[in-house]
Amino acid sequence: MDSESYTVSLGNNNSEIRQKAESDFISFWDKQAKNLSWFSQWTKTLDWNPPFAKWFVGGTLNACYNALDIHQNTRAEKPAILWEGENGDSSVLTYKDLLDQVNKFSNALKSLGLKKGDRVTIYLPMVPELSISMLACARIGAIHTVVFSGFSSIALKDRIDDSKSKIVITADGGYRRGSVVKLKEIVDDAIKELDCVQNVIVFERTKIDITKNPKDKLWSELMKDSSTKCEPEHLESNHPLYILYTSGTTGKPKGVLHGTGGYLTHLYSTFKWAFDIKDSDIFFCTADIGWVTGHSYVVYAPLLHGATVVMYEGAPDYPDISRMWGIVQKYKVSIFYTTPTALRMFMKFGDAIPNSFNLSTLRLLGTVGEPINPEVWKWYFKTIGKEKCPIIDTWWQTETGGMMLSPLPGIETIPLKPGSATHPIPGTDLAVVDESGTEVPSNTKGYLVIRKPWPGMLLTLWGDDDKYKTVYWSKYENSYYSGDYAIKDEDGYFWILGRADDVLKVAGHRIGTAELESSIASHSDVAEAAVCGIPDEIKGEVIIAFVVLKQGIKKNEESLRKEIIKVVRNGVGPIATPEQIYFVSKLPKTRSGKIMRRLLKSIAKNDKIGDVSTLEDGAAVSEVQSAFDELKKSIKK
C-alpha cells in the first residue's frame, strides 16, 4: 500500500448527502429514486425479506422512457451516441434518432409476437443496434440477456437455453482486428438443438453472405415499415430488466437478474456522484456492452442523464496502440472510463504516444474491473490526466449492478490514494470481516461484505433462488459475500486485494473456473482438468491448466495442447485460452474431493512450499506437502 495521496477538487461539496444516507438509508434512497420519472408512486420503499430485496414496491416506470422519452423536449437534437467503427466508419444518433429507432424496433419485436416477460438473447458487436435492441426490450417489458460477442457457440447455447429466449438478435458479422467474426454462423450453430428460439434477427453490419434459415429476419426489413410510435409499458419497479450471465466457481454460469426501479436509481446516483456528469460532457467508457460495465455505464446511466456517449466498436489497440487517444482527441472526450489492463498496455508503450494527442478536454478518469497498481494509477494521473483529473477507481460487480466503492468528486473532495477505491457510496454498508463475520481491525486482510441491501442489488439468480442464497448469503448471516479480499486502512479507505474464491479476472474479464474446466474435460482424451490464475504484468492474471489424460493416451503432448486450446476457444471463447497447459498424473484434492487450486497456483507461480501451509481448505499441512511434491514430480510442461 502506497502512502502517497493526491487531491484534485472539482469544487463540489455536498456533505449533506453522506449525513442523510447515514442517518436513514431507506429514506435516503427513497429521495434518490425521485430523480427518475415514475408513472405511479411506490407504496413501500424497501421490502427486505432476506436475502431478497424489493425496492420501490408498487411504483411503475419504464427504463427506456427514462433513458429517451424524458429528453425529447430538451435534448432531442443532442447526440446520444457518437459511434466509431473499427474500420473508421462513424455515425451520430441524437436522442430523437435513438427514440425513433428504438420505437421502430420495439414494434418489430411485437410483430414477432414478443411479450412482456419474454427473454431475448442479444449477441451483437459494439454497434448502436446493440443499445437499440436493449432499450426496445426494456420498452416493451421483455427481458434482455446480452451475451458478449467474444463467447463461443457452446457458451452462447448454454445461455440461450438457460434463459429460454424466444428471439436471438445478432449480426451477419462483427469486425475485430480487421477481420470479420461470423456471428450469424455462431448463432446458427448454437440454436441447432434449441426449440425455444422462434426467430433470429440479423443486423447487416458487414454485408457478408449469410445462410438464410426459415427463422431468420433481416433487421433492415423489419425496420423498413415499422412505426416510430410505441407506448412504453408501465412496469412495476421490480420487473426484471435483464439477465446477465456471469461466471462462478461451480456449475454453469449464473444468470444475474436485475430489476428496474432500484437498479436505475443506483445508476442515476452513482453516475452523478462519481463522474460529476454535466450536460456538456462527452463520456467514453471502453467496456464492451457484453459485460456489466457496458450495461450500466455505456447504456443506462449516461442515457438517464441525457449525456453524450462515445461508443467504439473494435479492439483498443487496433490498428495501433494510439487508437483510444485518437478517439479522445477526435470526440473531445471529457470523461474516460477504462480498465487497468488497458492502462498497463498503454503505459508499456511510453508517454510519447499519448503526448502526441490533444487530451486537454479530459476532466475525469475512471477505472474498473481489477485492482489498479499504484504505478499505473500514477501514470494515468500524470501522463493522461496531466495531474488535473481525479482518478475514479470504482469497485463493483455484475451482482451489485453499479458502483459500490468509489471516489465521488461530484459531491466531495477527498485525498485520493493510488490503488484504493476509497469509500463506500452513500447509502451502502461495506465492511471487511474475518472467517466468522467479525469486522477485522484496520489494515488487516479480510473478506469484503455488504451488510445492508442496496438499490442496484441483483433480484436473484435467474430460475435459481436456492443458488442465489448459497452463493452470496450462506457464508455470513445477513451479509452479502462479494468473493473479494480487502483491507480497510486507518483512514477508512478500502483496498481491494483480488478474489478470495476461484473466479479468474483475465484482462478484466470475469471467467469461471467451472465452465473452463468442464470445457477442457470435454476433450475426448481428457479425464480431468483444473485451472488457476497466475499474475501477469499486463493482463493482471493469465490462465494455467492442469490436465489429467485418460489411461493409455499416447498422443504427442504438443498436438494435444493445441487440441485443448481449440476445445476451449470453441467451448468458452478466445478470452479463456490457457497461457500454459501442464499434463499431470493426478490432481491434488482434499479429503472431501475438492481440487486444491491454491496449491496448483503455488506450483504454477513457482512459489515456495511454505506458502501452501496457509491453505484455507483445512487439509493437514503434511498432506498438502506430499500432494505438492507428488504433483511437482508428475508435471510435464
The footprint of ligand WTA on this chain (CB under 6 A) covers a number of residues equal to: 22
Compute the distance between CA of residue 208 and CA of residue 184 in angstroms, rounded to an integer: 10
Asked if 548 and 529 touch (Cβ cutoff 8 Å), the reply is yes
Asked if 589 and 595 touch (Cβ cutoff 8 Å), the reply is yes
List 141, 424, 426, 483, residue binding ligand WTA (CB under 6 A): 483
List 344, 499, 523, 601, residue binding ligand WTA (CB under 6 A): 499
**Closer to ligand WTA by Cβ: residue 131 or 398:** 398
- CA 98 distance to own-chain centroid: 24
List 421, 431, 520, 529, residue binding ligand WTA (CB under 6 A): 421
Determine if 456 is a binding residue for ligand WTA (CB under 6 A). Answer: no
Residue nearest to ligand WTA (CB): 398
Q: HEC string of 181-192?
A: ECHHHHHHHHHC
Grid coordinates representing 458 are 441483483
Determine if 396 is a binding residue for ligand WTA (CB under 6 A). Answer: yes
Asked if 134 and 81 touch (Cβ cutoff 8 Å), the reply is no
Least Å from the CB of residue 266 to ligand WTA: 13
**Closer to ligand WTA by Cβ: residue 129 or 370:** 370
Determine if 510 is a binding residue for ligand WTA (CB under 6 A). Answer: yes
Least Å from the CB of residue 396 to ligand WTA: 5
**Closer to ligand WTA by Cβ: residue 106 or 513:** 513
Question: Which residues have a Cβ under 8 Å from the Cβ of 357 and sit 6 or more positions away?
Answer: 322, 325, 326, 328, 329
Q: Which window, 64-72, 353-361, 365-373, 580-588, contacts ligand WTA (CB under 6 A)?
A: 365-373
Asked if 57 and 42 touch (Cβ cutoff 8 Å), the reply is yes
Least Å from the CB of residue 508 to ligand WTA: 7
- The single-letter DSSP state of residue 376 is H
Conformation bin of residue 58: beta by default, left when phi > 0, alpha when psi is -120 to 50: left
User: Which of 570, 558, 556 shows the shortest CA–CA distance to 523?
Assistant: 570
- The single-letter DSSP state of residue 196 is S
Determine if 390 is a binding residue for ligand WTA (CB under 6 A). Answer: no
The angle that helices 25-33 and 261-275 make with each other, rounded to 10 degrees, is 90
Report, in angstroms and rounded to the nearest whole number, the Rg of the chain calculated over CA atoms. Answer: 24
Determine if 484 is a binding residue for ligand WTA (CB under 6 A). Answer: yes
**Closer to ligand WTA by Cβ: residue 369 or 453:** 369
Least Å from the CB of residue 601 to ligand WTA: 16
Grid coordinates representing 316 are 483498443
Question: Measured between alpha carbons, how far apart are the two ends of the chain, in Å?
Answer: 35
Least Å from the CB of residue 480 to ligand WTA: 12
Least Å from the CB of residue 390 to ligand WTA: 14
List 258, 505, 523, 561, residue binding ligand WTA (CB under 6 A): 505
Location of C-alpha cell 425529447 = 72
**Closer to ligand WTA by Cβ: residue 158 or 484:** 484
Determine if 397 is a binding residue for ligand WTA (CB under 6 A). Answer: yes
Q: Which amino acid is at 263?
A: Y
Least Å from the CB of residue 616 to ligand WTA: 17
List 496, 549, 595, 619, residue binding ligand WTA (CB under 6 A): 496
Determine if 427 is a binding residue for ligand WTA (CB under 6 A). Answer: no
**Closer to ligand WTA by Cβ: residue 197 or 506:** 506
**Closer to ligand WTA by Cβ: residue 275 or 331:** 275
Asked if 462 and 162 touch (Cβ cutoff 8 Å), the reply is yes
CB atoms within 10 A of CB 432: 23
288-317: contacts with ligand WTA (CB under 6 A): 291-293
Q: Which window, 60-68, 306-314, 369-377, 451-459, contacts ligand WTA (CB under 6 A)?
A: 369-377
**Closer to ligand WTA by Cβ: residue 152 or 482:** 482
List 150, 173, 255, 369, residue binding ligand WTA (CB under 6 A): 369
222-281: contacts with ligand WTA (CB under 6 A): 246
Compute the distance between CA of residue 587 and CA of residue 48 in angstroms, rounded to an integer: 43
Q: Which window, 173-181, 272-280, 364-372, 408-416, contacts ligand WTA (CB under 6 A)?
A: 364-372
Q: Residue 631, SS3? A: helix
Asked if 284 and 328 touch (Cβ cutoff 8 Å), the reply is yes
Location of C-alpha cell 458478449 = 148
- Contact residues toward ligand WTA (CB under 6 A) are 246, 291-293, 368-371, 393-398, 421, 482-484, 496, 499, 505, 510
